[in-house]
Chain A
Amino acid sequence: MKLIKAIVKPFKLDDVKDALAEVGVEGLTVTEVKGFGRQKGHTEIYRGSEYTVDFLPKTMIETVVDDDTVEQAVAATVKAAKTGKIGDGKVFVLPVESAIRIRTEETDGEAL
């Protein structure tokens, strides 16, 4: 099992969700986050004074998938989230030790 952690532009959330559903992902968790990468922040001007906004809003999508679905899921995420402009985000893949569905207490692959 692998955890796919994708940090994308907020308006790309729906596209990524649909793309993941197409490759068989049955559930995911979304968090509104802030951060910066190479895009850095930006400045805003109020009443003639400049304010630096260091952290830009992004959306983090987390989902756990079987080892044999990982490649497809990551490819689908990248394709759906890409605009080609700076600030598109990143995808991380991490190993997962175990998973349990709370209602039925099924484990690992059965729980996804």
Chain B
Amino acid sequence: MCLPGMLIAQDAAQAEVATVALETAVEATTALDSGNTAWMLTATVLVLFMTLPGLALFYGGLVRSRNVLSVLMHCFVIACLASVLWIAILYTMAFAPGTSGWLGGFEHIGLKGINIDSMAGDFPETIFIMFQMTFAIITPGLIVGAFVERMKFSAILLFTALWLVLVYAPVTYWVWGGGWLFESGVIDLAGGIVVHATAGISALLLAKMLGPRDGFPSKLHVPHHPAMVMIGASMLWVGWFGFNAGSQLAANGNAGMTMLVTHISAAVASLTWMCLEWRINGKPGLVGIVTGMVAGLATITPASGNVGPLGAVCLGFLAGIVCYFACGIVKNKLKIDDSLDVFAVHGVGGIMGTILVAVFGTTVFGGTGVDDMVQQLGIQVKAVGAVVLWSIIATFVIVMICKFTTGLRVTEEVENTGLDQSEHGETAYQFE
């Protein structure tokens, strides 16, 4: 195999050698390192925990009580669907060596050729497959926040499947799998581009095409369970250590620094958001502070392998401010019901971090790996632009396909009754 994951930390020249000369790569495979293996097993568990139940609870608490089960259901079914698609076709599309820079090969279709002895660097490839699978689970899971309380269940399944094949797998190959953006030297340790930019921009377009919830924007109902939001968000914070530090693919000093800067950014962004709310609305809210935390984590994600503690403070501070105002702009100025602010928090945060790593990754800010700020800035902006453009085109096509096959929205009656009862036949809260 081409060991794409391991290539992330290496420079482009080495990458080329490894990708082109497969045999050399196989010979170069080092013996199994049990420390790294143990950490990657753990990191995989942490990232799955982000979606189940972290993200599900974070989103579930933000909707009305009549729709909470539908949101939990969406996150769960997407996890299952993405898993099956990942082993069937997505892994090979994303990580097998491709003939062009655009798409991975098909040699591992259905995980063909992978066995107990297959290695990804110095740990088993099965773990690398599982680790990356959890990323393919949470990315379409993030998009759930854009369509809650109104999208048809069948349309959600079709959208998710097509989106993983047309957006997630190709972009993963471009950035991490040895594709054209990887070759260009783009920095994206854990998915500012691959996860947050793709999900954020697709969420915004889907929300626009789907139309707003009944009552948007003036007659909406308050989040039904802010405590659930906090519990889910806290699980995301914990899981994010696996997401970012795990993306170093080793239990070493880099992983330690990544964990440290990830945590700093989350804390600073939370405080920044809280202070803004306190000043603007008069009261510091729980939903606000935890949203700031998610913004801080999304923003540090692409940069977490290159910035130092000072850079993390700066990124967290900017995440809190920019994402806070982005929420208002999307809902009040653009009038798009991106219901749970997927674009404003994940999209804006991920894109901002991807671009600013070129600045905060320089030695001036205590970072590493960025020698020429201007040149790196150009690479980062180009990568973001290309991925955003592709996400828009592909998402538009996918939504149109859904529109003319499954249909997009539930009926007005179903929306009023709530998706829990009418789509799933269950009720969240029983009073006996």
Contacts and interface: CB of A to CB of B under 8 A. Distances in A.
Nearest to A53: B222
A47 B341 contact: yes
Contact of A52 (B219, B277, B331, B332): B219
A86 interface: no
A49 interface: yes
A48 interface: yes
Interface string A21-46: 00000000000000000000000111
B328 A48 contact: yes
B424 interface: no
A46 B219 contact: no
B144 interface: no
B128 interface: no
A60 B80 CA distance: 46
Question: Which one of A44, A46, A51 has the greatest number of beta carbons of chain B within 10 Å?
Answer: A46
Interface in B192-228: 217-223
Interface in A44-88: 44-49, 51-53
A28 B172 CA distance: 65
A49 B222 CA distance: 10
B220 A51 contact: yes
Contacts of A49: 217, 220, 327-328, 331-332
A48 B328 CA distance: 6
Interface stretch (B284-292, B307-315, B383-391): B284-292
Contacts, number: 36
Contact of B287 (A47, A52, A53): A47
A48 B285 CA distance: 11
Contacts of B325: 48
Chain A interface main SS type? strand
A47 B220 contact: no
B217 A46 contact: no
A62 B327 CA distance: 45
Interface in B309-334: 324-325, 327-328, 331-332
Nearest to B345: A47
Nearest to B323: A47
A66 B421 CA distance: 45
A44 B217 CA distance: 14
A50 B219 CA distance: 9
Interface residues of B, number: 22
Contacts of A53: 222
Nearest to B341: A47
A34 to B, nearest CB: 13
Contacts of A48: 280, 324-325, 327-328, 331-332
B281 interface: yes
Contacts of A45: 277, 281, 283, 285
Contacts of B291: 47
A44 to B, nearest CB: 5
Interface string B267-307: 00000000001001101010110010000000000000000
Contacts of B328: 47-49
A43 to B, nearest CB: 10
A49 B383 CA distance: 32
Question: Which one of A46, A47, A49 has the greatest number of beta carbons of chain B within 10 Å?
Answer: A47
Nearest to A47: B327
A51 B222 contact: yes
B288 A47 contact: yes
A52 B222 CA distance: 8
Contacts of A44: 222
Contacts of A47: 287-288, 291, 324, 327-328, 341
B318 to A, nearest CB: 17
Contacts of B219: 52
Nearest to A45: B281
A77 B281 CA distance: 37
A46 B225 CA distance: 12
Interface string B215-257: 0011111110000000000000000000000000000000000
A46 B324 contact: no
Interface of A: 44-49, 51-53
Q: Which are the 7 A-B pairs with shortest beta-carbon distances? A: A48-B328, A47-B327, A51-B222, A45-B281, A48-B327, A46-B287, A44-B222
7 contacts: A44-B222, A45-B283, A48-B325, A49-B217, A49-B220, A51-B220, A53-B222
Interface of B: 217-223, 277, 280-281, 283, 285, 287-288, 291, 324-325, 327-328, 331-332, 341
Given A46-B287, A47-B324, A47-B328, 14 more contacts: A45-B281, A46-B285, A47-B291, A47-B341, A48-B280, A48-B324, A48-B331, A49-B217, A49-B327, A49-B328, A49-B331, A51-B220, A52-B219, A53-B222
